[in-house]
Structure 1
Amino acid sequence: MRRRDKPAHGEPLYERGLVLGKFYPPHAGHHHLVRTAQDQCERLTVLVCAASVESVPLADRVAWMREAHPGAEVVGAVDDIPVDLHDPAVWEAHMAIFRRAVGHRIDAVFTSEEYGTELARRFGAEEVCVDRDRTLFPVSGTAVRADPAGNWEFLGPAVRAALTRRIVVLGAESTGTTTLSRALAEHWRGRGGVWAKTGWVEEYGRRYSEERLAAARAADPAATWADVSFTSQEFPVIARRQDEEEERAARLGSPVLFCDTDSLATGIWHERYMGGRSEEVERIAAGTRRDLYLLTDHADVPFEDDGLRDGPQLRPWMTGRFREELERTGQRFLVVSGDRETRLATAVAAVDELLAEGWHFAAPLPERVREDSR
């Protein structure tokens, strides 16, 4: 069956529909197209096609679309055939990939592209054109790739998390990591516009430590930080929770996110308290992406004991270990020093430099243009 001439009340107009695209990356226009198709189809297939030259992996795009549209069947295919809308042989080569990936008949092709008519004809399906002029969502994949920040409002949570520039402030005890990371978040929020929702991620390890000390004092009101001990198994828990809270914030905020420490730093804290490295924590840290680290120097910051700190004697060692680990893992980082105002100014300049570099997407395969059509 193709189109139901007289669908029963509430019954979809088509049995099987198709939405095809690169989704490089997915945006609000894509999601509107899929939702429209879902409303009219009993079953909808979303085919994500990616070329090998493109810089966003096919698996990521498929995962993003599955998250956004759990009711659709989302499949992916690598398509490295050059684009030529006027060459029947090229069309048929593309169609072989499409048919193999879809695996069943199609009753309706939903599209916002000019090639939708020919695509539907070759599938033997009806074409359903949806907002071809982009009046509902004035955005395109080309526009997003050129300026993600300028099109942030059109991106879903998963894509935002993937594109957010993540800035981590780390350092030894009482070196101002919380002060600086909070000040940076407040500074960017003050810029307004897309930056107004800039997020800040607190140090989960500190919250965890406060809970441990509170538990010790519940058992013995005279307990101090010296009475609290850790096991190696606690540090992977802290590292994973830190990463989870960072990921949650990246989905909700602006194109930049500021974090007071991260899972890489958790590995150094494991060394500090356990006397050696944790392979599990290091595996967790290796699976994360950071764009810039700001290492707070201890030299010009007085030590302040807040009840969760051991003393200033280990600060030089920790600063050195943070630097060694950042260098070993090839991270982009900057050591910030001086008074509070100087540190903030230095950090703002470094983040501005990072953001000015923009986002780099590899160009998709170009469309061939015939000489007689130029």
Structure 2
Amino acid sequence: MNTAATQWRRGLVVGKFCPLHRGHMLVIDSALAACDEVIVISYTKPEFAGCGRALREAWLRALYPQVRVLVLDDTSLAALQGGATAVRVPHNDAPDAEQRDFCGWLCLDVLGVTVDAVFTSEDYGDGFARALSAYFAARRGPGAAVEHVCVDRARAQVAVSGTAIRADPHAMRALMHPLVYASFVRKVCLLGGESSGKTTLAAALALELNSVWAPEFGRELWIEKDGALVFADMLAIGRTQLAREQALLPHATRWLVCDTSPLTTLFYSDAMFGHADPALRDLAAQPYDSTLLCAPDFAFVQDGTRRDEGFRQRQHAWYVAELTRRGLPFTLVQGTPAQRLAQACARLAAT
């Protein structure tokens, strides 16, 4: 609810939001400034890759918790109808009249409300407002006309195109909120036994990609506790590692480099305690877009926190077996640091 002086009681914004960008946000923000309540409806048929219903809803709810959000596809719409499919989401190429009646039906029959204003940045807004006025009048009797508020039609404030963003979201990242851009960042996971050059490669790869990397929390905690880890630390390590990745995604560029994953923590839990928390096993199934396994092909370096060469070989063999068992493709990187970096970059460029 907007506590400032407002012009309308309830405003409506409708869009595909594929993806949600700063132009859309300007329209929603304008509605929030002018209305006591704002409804945002999103649907598209067909869906656009990387902009699925659940993701669009997550963006809107995270950025606009004060807005009444309705994000639909045929499955969710059928659920709202008790499993029936009497009304389905219109195709994007459906006539304007069908799209407008659908929005009117959503307002009255799904949300149980009418709106006083519709906010767009398009020429169709005037016709949309007139159609909603007629739809509401036909169903509920004459009332005040729905007004159209056009926001930045000339794209003078935000020069943006959803098509251009979908074509290269990384080049257009400035036109998206960091939370939205984070959804387009892919994650590369680096695995390897102790003293296999994993952390060195992670830092170098992030620098090469002009991105950021998530350091290995488990190693930090091991040092902090002088190796005296307890069983409960294992799950905490896995959760913290994933939380770090999530926090860094909005700051990455194309790729977030992850120095280890909960799969490593699972290995240490089994090695140190003979078992693992089921919740940690679930975390270890966390998917990554690419996995690099560092080969133990240079002399073992003891830094005071590591086991020995035999343990390194055992850990490497476990990674190979476990990744294979899970059907997860991985790339073995080996050789000098420069060679490993070149192999990693080539793998990501091909992914």
> Shared fold (TM-score greater than 0.5)?
yes
1:351 CA drift (Å): 1.5
Alignment match, 1:142: 163
The residue type equivalent to 1:64 in the other structure is W
Larger RCO, structures 1/2 (Cα 8 Å, 6+ apart) = 1
Is residue 161 from structure 1 mapped to residue 179 from structure 2 by the alignment? no
Q: Is the 8 A contact 2:46 2:92 kept in 1?
A: no
Q: 1:152 touches 1:255 (CA, 8 Å); kept in 2?
A: no
Number of the residue aligned with 1:218 = none
Partner of 2:222: 209
- State the match for 1:178 in structure 2: 199
Choose the corresponding residue for 1:23, options 4, 9, 17: 17
Query: Are 2:38 and 1:38 aligned?
Result: no
SS at match of 1:233: helix
Separation (CA, whole Å) in 1 of partners of 2:326 and 2:232: 23
Q: Please, what TM-score do these two structures have when normalized by structure 1?
A: 0.80
Contact 2:118–2:129 under 8 Å retained in 1: yes
1:290 — aligned with what? 288
* Structure 1 residues not aligned, in runs of 5+: 1-8, 190-197, 214-224, 355-374
Residues 169 and 181 in structure 1, CA contact (< 8 A), matched pair in contact too: yes
User: 2:54 — aligned with what?
Assistant: 59
Post-superposition Cα deviations, 1:126-183, rounded to whole Å, max 9, x if no partner, equal: 0011112322222222222111111111122322222111111110000011000000
Stretch of structure 1 that moved more, 46-55 or 326-335: 46-55
1:70 pairs, out of 40, 65, 72, with 65
Identity %: 33
Residue 129 of structure 2 is aligned to residue 120 of structure 1? yes
Partner Cα distance (1:75, 1:89) in 2:
18
* Alpha-carbon separation, structure 1, partners of 2:244 and 2:181: 15
RMSD: 2.1
- Between Structure 1 and Structure 2, how many residues are aligned? 322
**2:249 counterpart SS class:** helix
Range 100-109 or range 21-30, more displaced: 100-109
Amino acid corresponding to residue 238 of structure 1 in structure 2:
I
Aligned residues of 1:19 and 1:45 also touching (Cα < 8 A): yes
- In 2 relative to 1, CA 78–260 (structure 1 residues): closer, same or farther, beyond 3 Å? same
Deviation for aligned residue 1:37: 1.1
**1:1-374 correspondence to structure 2 within 5 Å:** 10-51=4-45, 53-55=47-49, 56-78=51-73, 80-84=89-93, 86=95, 88-89=97-98, 91-93=100-102, 95-124=104-133, 125-189=146-210, 198-213=211-226, 225=227, 228=228, 230-286=229-285, 288-298=286-296, 300-354=297-351
